Amino acid sequence: MRENPPVIRLRDRGGWLAARDGVVISFFIHHDHEEVTPAIWRALQLYLQAIPPKTLNWYVSDDGDMVEFDDKGYEHHRKLMLECPWKGASRIELSESPSESGGYQFEYYGRRISEPSWPYPNDPATAVAFTFPTEYLLEHGPDHLRALAFKLAWELPFSFGYASLAIVAPQGRWGTSDWDLLDTLRERYLGLDLYDVSDTGSAIGTHARSASWLTFVGQPLLGQLGGGEGLRRALPFPEVSVLPLDSQRVMISLGEWPDAIDTQKGGIPPPYRALALKLEPFVYQERTGLSPRYEYSWLRRLSQ
Query: Where would I find the H helices in the chain?
Result: 33-50, 71-83, 134-140, 142-155, 179-188, 197-201, 221-224, 227-234, 270-279, 292-299
Per-residue pLDDT, 73: 80
Radius of gyration in angstroms for the set of CA atoms belonging to the chain, rounded to a whole number: 18
Are 216 and 24 a contacting pair, CB within 8 Å?
no
Query: With a cut of 70, which residues of the chain have pLDDT below it?
Result: 1-3, 84-89, 115-122, 286-296
Residues 229-260 have pLDDT tens digits of: 999 999 999 999 999 999 999 999 999 999 99
Per-residue pLDDT, 291: 47
Q: What is the pTM of this model?
A: 0.93
Per-residue pLDDT, 199: 86
Per-residue pLDDT, 119: 52
